[in-house]
Structure 1
Amino acid sequence: MLVFPNAKINLGLNIVEKRVDGFHNIESCFYPVGWTDALEITPAGQFTFQSDGIAIPGNGNDNLCAKAYQMLAVDYDLPPVKIHLLKAIPIGAGLGGGSADAAFTIKALNQQFNLQISHEKQLSYARRLGSDCAFFILNKPAYCFHRGDEFEDVSLSLAGKWIVMVNPGVHISTVEAYSGVQAKRSGKDLRTVLKEPVASWRDQIKNDFEATLFVKYPLLETIKNNLYNLGAFYASMSGSGSTLYGIFDEEKNLKENFRNYKVWQGFLD
């Protein structure tokens, strides 16, 4: 079975408070985008995980795809498989690529072996693997809160808008990103702002990580400003960085403008 785990962007990211367990409660809107990895699962004599493309740090058995398989294998007595991941979504880029790979592994195994796992149980499995893994089970625009693993539907569509995503190759760990932020509640509910005309988002929707990470990595702010100068009606850093994106009303080919970086561009659904 071959599936294509996709990335996501954050429309706004407010760090609301630090939790007693050391994590943070946030509010954000996750929106799926078309930048994808490729994930293939085939029968095998013994379980193996292999990856190509962008190098993935660490032991392959520690990969979230492998952990997803092992979790389901215990509960459903799955036969061994070979998982092959072609990694194209940048790592440490605020795009949720690893989380998407894990969630799509759960969904693919469910389909391949006809496990008939309910959406709710798939969400439960995904939450055990990471805070934003669960988003990719349903994989549709959602208002996210608590650790980013609880969701509400939002009536938001950017279908037909053009997005340009620029990754300068700066790897920012979650620990690094959170080390510089001060948690505080936003003055206006993000769900309310998202209902307002998109032209107003620039002044109202923000990513709390930008304040400190732009100081540490000025290049990120430069890319964001360039996206605005090139006509984006909204631009932001996604997640905890380092990918910047701009949303445009019409198609634009900006690869030459950011020729030294990884760029993905396409229409939103």
Structure 2
Amino acid sequence: MTLPLAQAKLLAGKKGLIVGIANDQSIAWGCARAFHALGAEVAVTYLNDKAKRFVEPLAQEIEAPIFLPLDMLVPDQVEAVFEEITAKWGELDYLIHSIAFAPRDTLAGRVTDAPLDGFLKTMEVSCWSFMRMAHLAEPLMKKGGAMFTMTYYGAEMVVENYNIMGVAKAALESAVRYMAAELGPKGIRVHAISPGPLATRAASGIPEFDELLVKAERKAPARELVGIDDVGAAVAFLAHDAARLITGQTIYIDGGYHIVD
């Protein structure tokens, strides 16, 4: 990856955890690549054994010193990841949370009809998991730090077929604001990153997603779709000390898509 000012290693000495790499098209991978290019150390997780074969070569490419499984629906796995970080590093400078999930029947159905178990599972993985990781990361951010999660325009406006995930992302964005207020006195910033539509594996579960991509490219003032490297570069800037007074924001990286009716 060629990143402006990468040679300067502006994040040298920074250590962080990136959760949500599924393959080389993942937003989390764009972030991992950017942070590595700027000199940061990156701990990486993978969902399960099936995902491991796709993620492990990427972790090796960025020389990840920590590589562990993490499925939020498996008890104690997130705690095990933070225990390893504590043992190996004893500190943390940034956290990137890029995971979301809704059962297929809950995502495909109307919000009005959402079953309780589907709603709770959606909220657990898509919202509460970030809150839990922040709780575990807080004591490791002894000198301050930055926490990021991924959201989408469907949290703010009704996007066809986004359904229950829009509800979860709205809760996630609200959690970001409250957490930023709570953690700010410790020098910890918290942001929701809202990229435009991206052709990721997660997005493939949304019906008629290709049509959404066409609409986004046509509607965005930049007349261009965002890429994972665009997201990575922006998140890397926000993790730098130069952005220390920016917190609690939903940052749109979408070519201006969200400003146009």
TM-score using structure 1 length:
0.25
- The structure number with the bigger radius of gyration is 1
Structure number with the higher helix fraction is: 2
Greater share of strand: 1
Q: Which structure is higher in RCO with an 8 Å CA cutoff and minimum separation 6?
A: 1
TM-score by length of 2: 0.25
